[in-house]
Structure 1
């Protein structure tokens, strides 16, 4: 797909944290956009390597978000955030939030 030539004998490293953030695939790939078309998203794998439980996980997440949306007016970050040092994953070590009920 790309035009990068990897010379023979050279090594490459895959960064899982960059998955689903390809600027050639999505506009503004670093933005959190709930309206983005999820087709091609690799969070649950792809092809023969896809997660067989992904449909249940998506249903559970959708159900949880619907229930929360009915009870919560706002969610805001309430303190300093921290990311763990990790070369391959993007995660939160600490993400303090404040929830205001509707």
Structure 2
């Protein structure tokens, strides 16, 4: 069972108390962008076996959205952090690299 700690209220919640919101850190495209950019935003998602960043809502708790960094193959949770971030915080990336040496986020060190 997947257990995540809400970064706002600090409660460890299992997946039955949470609502999945899909992939985190997507770039939203506004008016004036190409149809390809908008189509990619709507339909193109990563589906890796390994490290993945997801949005979750503490539905049966504080109700707030947050991000989780976890391994999709092992359900190992590296960290949870507030949703109001454009990319994973350095501390989260460092925690992942500690357990997965050589890992990079979107090809950056």
Give the shorter-chain TM-score range.
under 0.3
Normalised by the length of structure 2, the TM-score is 0.25
Q: Where is the strand percentage greater, Structure 1 or Structure 2?
A: 2
Higher gyration radius (CA): 1
Normalised by the length of structure 1, the TM-score is 0.26
